[in-house]
A and B are shown apart, each in its own frame.
Chain A
C-alpha cells in the first residue's frame, strides 16, 4: 500500500541533503507519494547553476565527496521527481528572503509553497526533517 512521505530540508550540508534525497528517491520509486519542502540553507543549492560545493558536517561527507560512485543528491531528487512523481517544493518565504523567482530554480522544482499548504498536505502522513 502506498504511503505519504513528506520531507523537510532546511540544512545546507551534504550529509543531510544526501540522506533526504535517498529517502525521497527510494520512496517515490516504490510508489509512495512523496513531497519535499526546501527552505532555509537547503534551498540555495537548487538555484539553477548553483555551486556543487556543499559544506560537509564531518567525515562521512568527506567520504561521499571522494567516492565517485555516490549518486549526487540533485540527481536523486530528480529521479524522485521523474520516476516517482515526487513533488519538490520551494518554500515561498525562503524565495522572498533570497530575492529569487521561481524561474531561477532547477526545473524539477514545483511551485512556491507556504507552510500552511505544506502542513495541510502533510496531515496524516509521515514527516522527516533534515
Chain B
C-alpha cells in the first residue's frame, strides 16, 4: 500500500531541499507520495526539472503564503 510523507525543508537553501527530497525518494517505495515544503523559490523550479530528468511524477506545485508545497510520486 502506498504511503504519503511530508518533508519539511523550510528555511534551508539550494540545494538543501532537493537533497532532502532525493534522500527520502531513495528510501520510498514505488507509488509513495512525498510532499516537500520549501521556502526556497529556486526549489520550485529545480524539483520539477529533477523529476522530469529522472522520470518520476510531479503531482502538484503550489505556493501557500511563503511556502512551496511540491508533491511528487515515486514511479520506479
List residues of chain A with CB under 8 Å of any chain B CB: 22, 25-26, 29-31, 67-71, 76, 79, 83
Contact = CB atoms under 8 A, between A and B. Distances in A.
Q: From DSSP, what is the main secondary structure of chain B's interface residues?
A: helix
Given A25-B15, A69-B13, A71-B12, 17 more contacts: A22-B14, A22-B15, A25-B19, A26-B15, A26-B18, A29-B18, A29-B50, A30-B50, A30-B53, A69-B11, A71-B13, A71-B16, A79-B19, A79-B22, A83-B19, A83-B22, A83-B26
Interface of B: 11-16, 18-19, 22-23, 26, 46, 50, 53-54
B18 A67 contact: no
Contacts of A68: 11
